[in-house]
Protein backbone atom coordinates (compact mmCIF):
# COMPACT_ATOMS: atom_id res chain seq x y z
CA UNK A 1 0.00 0.00 0.00
CA UNK A 2 1.31 3.46 -0.92
CA UNK A 3 1.57 5.53 2.21
CA UNK A 4 0.45 9.13 2.01
CA UNK A 5 2.57 12.07 3.10
CA UNK A 6 2.51 12.65 6.83
CA UNK A 7 -0.02 15.40 7.67
CA UNK A 8 1.31 18.59 9.19
CA UNK A 9 1.11 18.87 12.96
CA UNK A 10 -1.29 21.65 14.05
CA UNK A 11 1.44 23.07 16.29
CA UNK A 12 3.64 23.59 13.25
CA UNK A 13 0.79 25.37 11.45
CA UNK A 14 0.22 27.61 14.47
CA UNK A 15 3.94 28.37 14.75
CA UNK A 16 4.66 29.00 11.06
CA UNK A 17 1.38 30.55 9.88
CA UNK A 18 0.29 32.54 12.93
CA UNK A 19 2.89 33.15 15.62
CA UNK A 20 5.96 33.83 13.46
CA UNK A 21 4.21 36.14 10.94
CA UNK A 22 2.75 38.17 13.81
CA UNK A 23 6.16 38.45 15.46
CA UNK A 24 4.91 36.95 18.70
CA UNK A 25 7.16 35.26 21.22
CA UNK A 26 6.11 31.95 22.69
CA UNK A 27 5.70 33.69 26.04
CA UNK A 28 3.42 36.38 24.61
CA UNK A 29 1.37 33.84 22.63
CA UNK A 30 1.00 31.68 25.75
CA UNK A 31 -0.20 34.70 27.70
CA UNK A 32 -2.78 35.47 25.00
CA UNK A 33 -3.99 31.86 25.01
CA UNK A 34 -3.92 31.73 28.82
CA UNK A 35 -1.74 28.62 28.94
CA UNK A 36 1.74 28.05 30.28
CA UNK A 37 4.74 28.70 28.09
CA UNK A 38 5.74 25.05 28.56
CA UNK A 39 2.35 23.83 27.30
CA UNK A 40 2.44 26.02 24.21
CA UNK A 41 6.08 25.24 23.50
CA UNK A 42 5.36 21.49 23.52
CA UNK A 43 2.56 22.02 21.00
CA UNK A 44 4.59 24.33 18.75
CA UNK A 45 7.51 21.89 18.74
CA UNK A 46 5.19 19.00 17.85
CA UNK A 47 5.89 17.25 21.15
CA UNK A 48 2.25 17.36 22.28
CA UNK A 49 -1.06 16.79 20.56
CA UNK A 50 -3.61 19.55 20.20
CA UNK A 51 -6.37 19.06 22.79
CA UNK A 52 -9.98 20.13 22.30
CA UNK A 53 -9.43 22.84 24.93
CA UNK A 54 -6.40 24.19 23.08
CA UNK A 55 -8.31 24.00 19.79
CA UNK A 56 -10.98 26.29 21.27
CA UNK A 57 -8.36 28.72 22.58
CA UNK A 58 -6.47 28.85 19.27
CA UNK A 59 -9.68 29.19 17.28
CA UNK A 60 -10.83 32.13 19.37
CA UNK A 61 -7.42 33.82 19.12
CA UNK A 62 -7.24 33.32 15.34
CA UNK A 63 -10.94 33.81 14.55
CA UNK A 64 -11.12 30.32 13.03
CA UNK A 65 -13.01 27.21 14.11
CA UNK A 66 -11.94 24.66 16.70
CA UNK A 67 -13.05 21.97 14.26
CA UNK A 68 -10.45 23.06 11.72
CA UNK A 69 -7.68 22.70 14.31
CA UNK A 70 -8.99 19.37 15.62
CA UNK A 71 -9.30 18.08 12.05
CA UNK A 72 -5.57 18.66 11.55
CA UNK A 73 -4.83 16.69 14.72
CA UNK A 74 -7.23 13.90 13.76
CA UNK A 75 -5.65 13.54 10.32
CA UNK A 76 -2.21 13.26 11.91
CA UNK A 77 -3.41 10.77 14.54
CA UNK A 78 -5.08 8.57 11.91
CA UNK A 79 -2.01 8.68 9.66
CA UNK A 80 0.17 7.64 12.61
CA UNK A 81 -2.17 4.77 13.52
CA UNK A 82 -2.30 3.54 9.91
CA UNK A 83 1.50 3.29 9.80
CA UNK A 84 1.41 0.48 12.32
CA UNK A 85 1.08 -2.96 10.78
CA UNK A 86 -1.86 -4.27 12.76
CA UNK A 87 -3.35 -7.33 11.12
CA UNK A 88 -7.01 -7.93 11.87
CA UNK A 89 -9.66 -10.20 10.42
CA UNK A 90 -12.77 -8.94 8.70
CA UNK A 91 -15.92 -9.54 10.74
CA UNK A 92 -17.65 -11.34 7.87
CA UNK A 93 -14.77 -13.77 7.52
CA UNK A 94 -14.70 -14.42 11.26
CA UNK A 95 -18.44 -15.17 11.32
CA UNK A 96 -18.14 -17.59 8.40
CA UNK A 97 -15.74 -19.81 10.36
Q: How far apart are CA 8 and CA 2, in angstroms?
A: 18
Q: Label residue 3 by pLDDT band (50, 70, 90).
A: low
CA angle 77-79-80, nearest 5°? 65
Q: Which residues lie below 8 Å from residue 93, measured CB to CB, with a gap of 6+?
A: none
C-alpha to C-alpha distances, 94 to 33, 88, 90, nearest whole angstrom = 49, 10, 6
Greater confidence, 2 or 65? 65
Class of domain 10-75: mainly alpha
Please give the backbone phi and psi of residue 48, each rounded to the nearest 5 degrees, phi first.
Answer: -135, 150
What pLDDT is attached to residue 34? 98
Tell me: pLDDT of 2 over 70.
no
- Taken as a whole, the chain contains a residue count of 97
The tens digit of pLDDT for each residue in 4-13 reads 899 999 999 9
pLDDT for the residue 1: 46
Question: Positive or negative, the Cα torsion across 38, 41, 45, 47?
Answer: positive
Q: Summarize pLDDT for 43-81 with one digit per residue, the tens.
A: 999 999 999 999 999 999 999 999 999 999 999 999 999
Structure confidence at residue 41 (pLDDT): 98
Amino acid sequence: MLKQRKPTHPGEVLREDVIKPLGLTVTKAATILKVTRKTLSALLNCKASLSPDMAVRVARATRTTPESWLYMQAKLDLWTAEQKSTEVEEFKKAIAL
